[in-house]
Structure 1
Amino acid sequence: MTAQRVKAVKIADQVVETLQDWFRTGDLTPGMRLPPERELAARLGVSRTSLRDALRQLELLGYLDARQGNGTYVRQPDGEAMSQPFRTLVRALPQNATDLLEFRRLLEPEVAALAAERLTARGRAALQASLQRQRALPDHSALLGREDARFHDVLAQEAGNTVVLRVLETLRDLLSDVRAISLPAAGSSRTVDDHERIIQAVLAQDRDGARQAMRAHLDDVAQTYARAVEQLRSPGPHPLPDLS
């Protein structure tokens, strides 16, 4: 029999797995405060150093919220928390922003198609109201950027897939960070026109139409972003686009 090397598992990683099991079973729920460090380490049978390493990992993953002077609390991971480990990569390598946009183009057209198929009365009303609000807001408005994000959230919710919803929350959070770092928010009537075409297709429950309208919108976003990057490389003022 050939000898095989067994990969050692760090104690901190074992602690992470145990605590994640507690999250899944409901022993730890959002809003709950963790026991004191000494007590929790004794309960798990590990050193406080290993426990601290595990808690740092879980905080990065969005499961914990360490509050200075007030203890550590359980939280529900959201898009912002899940995006944290990737933000350094986006800052360090601008190409990653382009890759994120490409990934979004692979995913969101199918989300729009699913939203068209699974549209609820509540989603129909939300999309109609979103379009009205977008049309009422002035161009280049920060409010328009937030309404844009809300529009995409409604589509993701109507798609009815919680995994997709969380992925898109993370993706949009990363793109929001890219915009804040590299591209000042700049809403445009062209974006709202794109959104209207998507909404009309979804309201008609036209899967193919919704898919094509979203793909065309994201193609335009990617092209606008590429032009903006070129502008950044040249001297002078740089009016830049929205990535919502």
Structure 2
Amino acid sequence: MEKSQFEFKPIQKKPLVVELTRRLLDYIFSGSIQPGDRLPAERQLQDALGVGRSAIREAIKVLTVLGILEVKQGDGTYLKRADSGLLLESIEWGLLLGENRVQDIIEVRKEIEVPIARLAAERCTDNELEELKVILDKLKVSTIDDFVELDINFHMKIAQMSKNTVFIGILSSIQSLLRTWIKLVIEDAGETQFSYNDHYNIYQALSHKDSNESVKAMESHVEDATDRILKIIKEKKEMDA
């Protein structure tokens, strides 16, 4: 299959690394590059995007942490294949400890899950919606321990509904991160009703096959999850201070 041409546009918005990461994600999802392919060299990206090499490297680090890219020393940066392994355990500890890069990871998550919801609304079948409803029903009555895995299954099912193999591969590769994130939030809250409500709203939007409604529901869920994990990290820092 012939690859489409993708034109980079200079970076103007701030924060720089977040916007640059988004531009690289646009490039990855444009079809111009396939899993296993090498990205343009840093110098080429620097010239195309109008930013410094240090910013390019920081954005690549974010996407590497997420499991989207793989840097091979002396060879270049590659888009990981869908069968690549999960995030390293050190990333989970990074989330627990509140390392600075966590903010970048949190911001990038939205750039992954929101477009997945849009595509899922446009492409899902009635059978897939029934399967998603089964997971939702289990979420409603699950224990806190079981909720985490069911939550992951819910989001993975939506990715499968998107029919986009790159999205499926990316979400699969960050399951370790999401599992830690969800576990911390649920344990801190001591209950799951708030999260179930978010997932119910996402399901309802998808069942209407309304892409705008689905995007809003997913955005609301990710923003709530973000607020909660940042609160946990802040509280931990204050306790350790």
**TM above 0.5, one fold?**
yes
Structure 2 unmatched ranges of 5 or more: 1-35, 37-69, 71-80
- Aligned partners of 1:93 and 1:230: how far apart in 2? 8
Equivalent residues of 2:152, 2:179 under 8 A apart? no
The structure-2 alpha-carbon separation of the partners of 1:93 and 1:131, relative to structure 1 and needing over 3 Å to count, comes to closer
Partner of 2:161: 158
The structure-2 alpha-carbon separation of the partners of 1:213 and 1:96, relative to structure 1 and needing over 3 Å to count, comes to same
- Aligned partners of 1:103 and 1:201: how far apart in 2? 23
Q: Which moved more, 1:100-109 or 1:184-193?
A: 184-193
Q: Report the number of matched residues.
A: 158
Cα RMSD (Å): 2.9
Name the amino acid aligned to 1:148. Answer: D
Equivalent residues of 1:142, 1:185 under 8 A apart? no
Give the TM-score of the pair, scaled to structure 1.
0.57
Secondary structure, aligned partner of 2:238: coil
- Aligned partners of 2:181 and 2:210: how far apart in 1? 32
1:178, CA displacement in angstroms?
5.9
- The correspondence for 1:101, drawn from 90, 98, 106, is 106
Q: Deviations over 1:3-32 (max 9, x none)?
A: xxxxxxxxxxxxxxxxxxxxx9xxxxxxxx
Equivalent residues of 1:97, 1:175 under 8 A apart? no
- The alignment status of 1:129 with 2:164, answered yes or no, reads no
Q: Which moved more, 1:95-104 or 1:196-205?
A: 95-104
- Aligned partners of 1:231 and 1:218: how far apart in 2? 20
Structure 1 unmatched ranges of 5 or more: 1-23, 25-60, 62-75, 237-244
Name the amino acid aligned to 1:161. Answer: N
- Aligned partners of 1:126 and 1:158: how far apart in 2? 10
Equivalent residues of 2:120, 2:159 under 8 A apart? yes
| Matching of residues 195-206 of structure 1 within 5 Å | 195-206=199-210
Q: Deviations over 1:186-218 (max 9, x none)?
A: 252111100000100000001000000000110
- Aligned partners of 1:145 and 1:201: how far apart in 2? 22
1:126, CA displacement in angstroms?
1.0
- The alignment status of 1:235 with 2:230, answered yes or no, reads no
Identity, % of aligned positions: 23
- Aligned partners of 2:160 and 2:237: how far apart in 1? 38
1:77, CA displacement in angstroms?
6.1
Partner of 1:48: none
Partner of 1:118: 123
Name the amino acid aligned to 1:218. Answer: V
- The correspondence for 2:151, drawn from 124, 148, 151, is 148
- Aligned partners of 2:111 and 2:239: how far apart in 1? 34
- Aligned partners of 2:147 and 2:112: how far apart in 1? 23
Partner of 2:215: 211
Equivalent residues of 1:104, 1:171 under 8 A apart? no
Partner of 1:41: none
Partner of 1:194: 198
Secondary structure, aligned partner of 1:190: helix
Name the amino acid aligned to 1:213. Answer: A
Q: Deviations over 1:68-125 (max 9, x none)?
A: xxxxxxxx9646x142397389478712222212111112111111111111122111
Q: Deviations over 1:8-67 (max 9, x none)?
A: xxxxxxxxxxxxxxxx9xxxxxxxxxxxxxxxxxxxxxxxxxxxxxxxxxxxx8xxxxxx
- The alignment status of 1:175 with 2:184, answered yes or no, reads no
